[in-house]
Amino acid sequence: MRLANMAEVTGTLIVLYMRYLYDVLKESKMLDMVGFIDPAMTGEKGCGSATSRSRSVKDCLISASPNQISLLPYNASVHWMLTVIDPDNEIVYFMDPLRRRL
């Protein structure tokens, strides 16, 4: 309903979507292929300094299973973006629906 009304999507709603994806992956026996990074550890507001946020991401990537990609939702103020990280192949996909350049 929040999306249909164009209301701001909260971190809680993003985590809810992540949980749904987790359940789908588990049912499909694909859970070891995808890891999730908690957006509460990486958001621009209220998640500490850029250094502490970077360390949180690093720790998640180090603890990931081999050949596992990590999904990192990121909130820059009121705009959500998604980064998909494949550390084994050293590939990062950055998805921004507003198509802003880094």
- The boundaries of the domain holding residue 71 are 11-95
Q: For residue 42, what are the CA distances in angstroms to 16, 39, 66?
A: 17, 5, 22
Q: Tell me the whole-structure pTM to 2 decimals.
A: 0.77
Q: For residue 37, what are the CA distances in angstroms to 7, 62, 68?
A: 24, 12, 12
pLDDT given at position 44: 63
Q: Where are the beta strands (DSSP E) in 1-102?
A: 34-36, 69-76, 79-86, 91-95
Domain count, the chain: 1
Torsion sign across C-alpha atoms 17, 12, 42, 8 = positive
Examine residue 41 and state whether it is found in any structural domain, yes or no: yes
Examine residue 5 and state whether it is found in any structural domain, yes or no: no
How does pLDDT run along the chain (102 residues), one tens digit per residue? 455 555 677 778 888 999 999 999 999 999 999 999 888 887 666 566 778 878 888 888 898 889 999 999 988 777 888 999 999 999 999 998 887 665
Examine residue 100 and state whether it is found in any structural domain, yes or no: no
Examine residue 87 and state whether it is found in any structural domain, yes or no: yes
Examine residue 1 and state whether it is found in any structural domain, yes or no: no
pLDDT given at position 6: 58
Examine residue 63 and state whether it is found in any structural domain, yes or no: yes
